[in-house]
Structure 1
Amino acid sequence: MHIEDFPAPDTAAARAAVSLAERYQSPAITAHAVRSWYWAAGFAALDALTGVDHELLWVAAVLHDIGTVTEFDAHTVSYEHAGGHVAVALTTGAGWAVERQQRVLDVVVRHNWPSVDVDLDLEGHLLERATGLDISGAGADLLPEPFLREVLARYPRGSLAAEFGACVVDQAARKPDTAARRLVDGGVVEKLARNPLETLS
């Protein structure tokens, strides 16, 4: 399993998602987003999951935390809903059908669920597992270590632990009825610090 096994989609929507992420997100958050794509693709290959909408999964992965940035931080909804609606706006401009726009919103929102049934939402299942790995280290032993090291070398973790930890604590304080509060109460700050990926970087 290698990075080259999972080429990023080269479409207008995929390129626009990267452009938007790089313009508004920090390098650490954008690298986290791209790593999440590779972990999701790796889990799909590991479990021989077919029928993945790779363009949709890429857009959702790249933009799944964009609702945390100041320009898109909606004070009345969770950051995952805010980010999902950014993805809807982007894919509307790219000409996606309304049903597929709704799917990208669902996938972004569901990445913060405790788990997502693969039969309910294939891409949501993959992104939830992938972000769980990159944030808390869940499933780090399932993907080959050389693949983990290869992705981490190309997209380093940098200040992710400190940056995302502070961000989710802020979100939880301002929006106590959202998933951010559950993440904080579940020890996400400590999980970030103890993530085994930190030692592989």
Structure 2
Amino acid sequence: MFPETPAAAAALSVATRFCSPALFNHCVRSYLWGTMYGTAHGIAFDDELYYVSALLHDIGLTEAFDSHRLPFEEAGGQLAWVFGMVAGWPAERAARVTEIIILHMRDDVSPAADPESHLLQVATSWEVVGRRPEEFSPDARAEILARYPRWGFGAEFLACFEDQARRKPDSAAAASVRNDVAGRIAANPLESCPPA
């Protein structure tokens, strides 16, 4: 189900150690939703690169790695570059994981231009605000949420974004707060799924 490489195992260890249970499950679900979407649409992607990006994409929201100056996706992307280099990746591959993490909070990227960034954008926008619900069947939702419950993810994530917005008013997180991310999180169909 998950890539079996040293870098993938290390990313899992990092996410397990530093993310809250709700944030960790969100990262794993983001990988699963993205691979499901990619497979359904015939999008070829680098599984290890996407997995590491998905597992680390919100590491900049954690207490240990929150930057007081950089937006969380930029701080997390830079940390992911360090991770990639320590994992023995070439500099270009480490730079790709940085790019994917930063782009997940930017304007939509096409699958032809950057499949991994596209998948992470689709998966995280579904996870957080319920975008593209037609892509994820009720059976798939039930199966993934049974294995990786939300455990109050919506409220925890909103609190993180509101905190980012207060401290970093020019960030993408702040723009999301101004654009009613609270209302969109509340309306997300995943928020109304029964807890496991």
Confirm or deny that 1:133 pairs with 2:126. yes
Q: How does 1:2-41 map to 2 (within 5 A)?
A: 7-41=1-35
- Judge conservation of contact 1:168–1:180 (CA < 8 Å) in 2: yes
Number of positions where the alignment pairs a residue of Structure 1 with one of Structure 2? 194
Confirm or deny that 1:122 pairs with 2:111. no
Identity of matched residues, %: 41
Confirm or deny that 1:196 pairs with 2:189. yes
What is the root-mean-square deviation in Å for CA atoms of aligned residues?
1.0
Tell me the CA shift for residue 140 of structure 1. 1.6
Confirm or deny that 1:48 pairs with 2:48. no
Task: Tell me what 2:97 maps to.
Answer: 104
Tell me the CA shift for residue 88 of structure 1. 1.0
Confirm or deny that 1:164 pairs with 2:157. yes
Measured in 1, the distance between the counterparts of 2:56 and 2:19 equals: 9
Amino acid at match of 1:25: C
- For 1:74, what is the secondary structure of its paired residue? coil
Structure 2 spans left out of the alignment, 5+ residues: none
Measured in 1, the distance between the counterparts of 2:107 and 2:150 equals: 23
Task: Tell me what 2:87 maps to.
Answer: 94
Task: Tell me what 1:66 maps to.
Answer: 59
Amino acid at match of 1:42: M
TM-score by length of 1: 0.93
- Judge conservation of contact 1:40–1:129 (CA < 8 Å) in 2: yes
Amino acid at match of 1:179: A
Measured in 1, the distance between the counterparts of 2:150 and 2:180 equals: 19
- Judge conservation of contact 1:172–1:181 (CA < 8 Å) in 2: yes
Q: Runs ≥4 in structure 1, deviation > 6 angstroms?
A: none
Measured in 2, the distance between the counterparts of 1:180 and 1:143 equals: 25
Structure 1 spans left out of the alignment, 5+ residues: 1-6
Task: Tell me what 1:4 maps to.
Answer: none
Measured in 1, the distance between the counterparts of 2:132 and 2:22 equals: 21
Measured in 2, the distance between the counterparts of 1:102 and 1:61 equals: 15
- Judge conservation of contact 2:43–2:111 (CA < 8 Å) in 1: no
Amino acid at match of 1:91: G
Tell me the CA shift for residue 199 of structure 1. 2.1
TM-score by length of 2: 0.96
- Judge conservation of contact 1:140–1:197 (CA < 8 Å) in 2: no
